[in-house]
Homo-oligomer: A and B are copies of this chain.
């Protein structure tokens, strides 16, 4: 079994509306000293296949569904579990 972990963030300079909303909510709750909040998606995909094939499959999933390269950066890790 493989576990692929993919973190998908907004690129530097792209507006992160959810991060801004969380920062605003925290400030309304009287939290101080917050410089910035980023919100990213964290996907875990469990796959029944060999490691080499899984790495290729997940690259395709990223390209076809999970990441929009215009606005997103991503980190990927695939491991056997």
A residues with a Cβ closer than 8 A to B are: 1, 7, 9, 22, 25-26, 29, 31, 33-49, 57, 60-61, 64-66
Asked whether, in the complex, the Cβ of A37 is within 8 Å of the Cβ of B44, the reply is yes
Out of B31, B36, B39, B44, which one reaches A61, CB within 8 Å?
B31
Across the interface, which residues of B come within 8 angstroms of A39, CB to CB?
A: 41-43
Contact (A42, B1) CB under 8 Å given A34-B47, A60-B31, A65-B25: no
Q: Are B40 and A45 interface neighbours, CB within 8 A? A: no
19 contacts between A and B (CB under 8 A): A7-B42, A9-B42, A22-B66, A25-B65, A26-B65, A29-B61, A29-B64, A29-B65, A31-B60, A33-B48, A33-B49, A36-B44, A36-B45, A36-B46, A39-B42, A40-B43, A41-B41, A41-B42, A42-B42
